[in-house]
Structure 1
Amino acid sequence: MWSNQDLSETKTMLEPSKKSDYWIVGIALIIFFTSGILIGRYGTSHDSQHVLDVKQLVIDQISTDQISSNLRYLTSTPHVAGTAQDLLQAEWMRDRFLEAGLDEAKTVPYDVLLSYPLPGVMNKVSLIDDHGRINYTTAGRQPPLGSPEEYSEDIMHNFNAFSASGVVEGNVVYVHYGRKKDYEFLLSRGINVSGHIALIRLGVIFRGSKVELAERYGAIGAVLFSDRIEKTSQDRNFTYPDSWWMPGTGAEYGHVGRLRGGDLLTPYYPAIESAFRINEDNHPGLPKIPVLAIGYEEAEVILRHISPENPAPTKWGGKMDAPYNIGPNLRYPGWKVRLDVSIANERRTTFNTIGILKGSVEDDRYVLLGNHRDAWTFGALDPSSGTASMIEIARVFGNIKREQNWRPRRTIVFCSWGAHEYGLVGSYEWTQQHAKVLNQRAVAYLNVDTAVSGKK
Structure 2
Amino acid sequence: MIKKAVIGVLCAGIALGIGIVIGHFGISSGPSWLKDVAKDVDESFIERFMAEVNTIQIQENLRELTDVPHMATTAGDEKTVQTMLRRWLDDDDGLDDAWREEYNVYLSFPDANNPNKVTVVDAANVVKHSIREKEKPYTDDQRDPDVVQPYAAYSPAGHVKGKLVYANQGKPSDYEELSKKVNLTGTIAITRYGGAGRGAKAINAAPYGVAGVLVYTDPQDINDGFMSDTNETYPHSWYLPPSGVERGSFNRDFGDLLTPYLAAKEETYRIPPENIVGIPPIPIQPIGFEDAYVLICALDGDAAPFAWQGAFNCTYNLGGPGFKPTSAFSNSDVKMDIYNQEVIKNSANVMGIIRGSVEPDRYVIYGNHRDSWVHGAIDPSSGTSVMLEITRVLGRMVKQGIWRPRRSIIFGSWGAEEFGLIGSAEYTEVISCSSFSLTLHGCSYTLEKQMFRLNKTY
The bucket for the TM-score relative to the shorter chain is: 0.7 to 0.9
Q: Following TM superposition, by how much is the alpha carbon of 1:431 offset from its aligned partner in structure 2, in angstroms? A: 0.4
Q: Does 1:61 align with 2:52?
A: yes
- Mapped to 2, the partners of 1:323 and 1:121 lie a distance apart of 35
- Mapped to 2, the partners of 1:152 and 1:162 lie a distance apart of 24
Contact conserved, 1:43 with 1:54, CA < 8 A, in 2? no
Q: Report the residue type matching 2:344 in the other structure.
A: R
- Mapped to 2, the partners of 1:166 and 1:267 lie a distance apart of 26
1:293 is aligned to 286
Contact conserved, 1:144 with 1:151, CA < 8 A, in 2? yes
2:324 is aligned to 331
- Determine what percentage of the aligned residue pairs are the same residue: 37
Contact conserved, 2:367 with 2:448, CA < 8 A, in 1? yes
Contact conserved, 2:219 with 2:226, CA < 8 A, in 1? no
- Mapped to 2, the partners of 1:443 and 1:267 lie a distance apart of 22
Q: Following TM superposition, by how much is the alpha carbon of 1:121 offset from its aligned partner in structure 2, in angstroms? A: 2.3
Q: Does 1:180 align with 2:172?
A: yes
State how 1:334-413 maps to structure 2 within 5 Å. 334-413=331-410
Q: Does 1:311 align with 2:303?
A: yes
Secondary structure of 2:137's match? Answer: coil
Q: Following TM superposition, by how much is the alpha carbon of 1:435 offset from its aligned partner in structure 2, in angstroms? A: 7.4
2:63 is aligned to 72
1:196–1:441 CA distance, 2 compared to 1 (3 A): same
- Mapped to 1, the partners of 2:216 and 2:335 lie a distance apart of 16
1:435–1:450 CA distance, 2 compared to 1 (3 A): farther
Q: Does 1:167 align with 2:159?
A: yes
Q: Following TM superposition, by how much is the alpha carbon of 1:419 offset from its aligned partner in structure 2, in angstroms? A: 0.4
Secondary structure of 2:356's match? Answer: coil
State how 1:162-311 maps to structure 2 within 5 Å. 162-187=154-179, 189-237=180-228, 238-258=232-252, 260-281=253-274, 283-307=276-300, 309-311=301-303
CA RMSD of aligned residues (A): 2.3
Secondary structure of 2:295's match? Answer: helix
Q: Does 1:417 align with 2:411?
A: no
Q: Following TM superposition, by how much is the alpha carbon of 1:218 offset from its aligned partner in structure 2, in angstroms? A: 2.0
2:15 is aligned to none
1:266–1:234 CA distance, 2 compared to 1 (3 A): closer
Secondary structure of 1:281's match? Answer: helix
Secondary structure of 1:207's match? Answer: coil
Contact conserved, 1:115 with 1:344, CA < 8 A, in 2? yes
- Mapped to 2, the partners of 1:453 and 1:431 lie a distance apart of 24
Contact conserved, 2:108 with 2:340, CA < 8 A, in 1? yes
Match of 1:97 among 77, 82, 88: 88
Q: Following TM superposition, by how much is the alpha carbon of 1:215 offset from its aligned partner in structure 2, in angstroms? A: 1.9
Secondary structure of 2:254's match? Answer: coil
More deviation in 53-62 or 445-454?
445-454
Secondary structure of 1:222's match? Answer: strand
The C-alpha deviation readout for 1:187-208, integer Å capped at 9, x for no partner, is 3x34232321111111122111
1:71–1:280 CA distance, 2 compared to 1 (3 A): same
- Mapped to 2, the partners of 1:451 and 1:198 lie a distance apart of 36
Q: Looking at CA atoms only, which structure, 1 or 2, has the larger radius of gyration?
A: 2
Q: Report the residue type matching 1:318 in the other structure.
A: G
Q: Following TM superposition, by how much is the alpha carbon of 1:282 offset from its aligned partner in structure 2, in angstroms? A: 5.3
Secondary structure of 1:53's match? Answer: helix
Which protein, 1 or 2, shows the higher relative CO under an 8 Å CA cutoff with sep ≥ 6?
A: 1
Secondary structure of 1:359's match? Answer: coil
- Mapped to 2, the partners of 1:446 and 1:74 lie a distance apart of 20
Tell me the TM-score normalized by structure 2: 0.84
Unaligned runs of 5+ in 2: 1-33
Q: Does 1:152 align with 2:149?
A: no
1:112 is aligned to 105
- Mapped to 1, the partners of 2:338 and 2:225 lie a distance apart of 33
Q: Report the residue type matching 1:184 in the other structure.
A: E
Aligned length: 405
Q: Following TM superposition, by how much is the alpha carbon of 1:399 offset from its aligned partner in structure 2, in angstroms? A: 1.2
- Runs of 4 or more, structure 1, over 6 Å off, are 42-45, 435-439
Secondary structure of 2:353's match? Answer: strand
Q: Following TM superposition, by how much is the alpha carbon of 1:179 offset from its aligned partner in structure 2, in angstroms? A: 0.7
2:28 is aligned to none
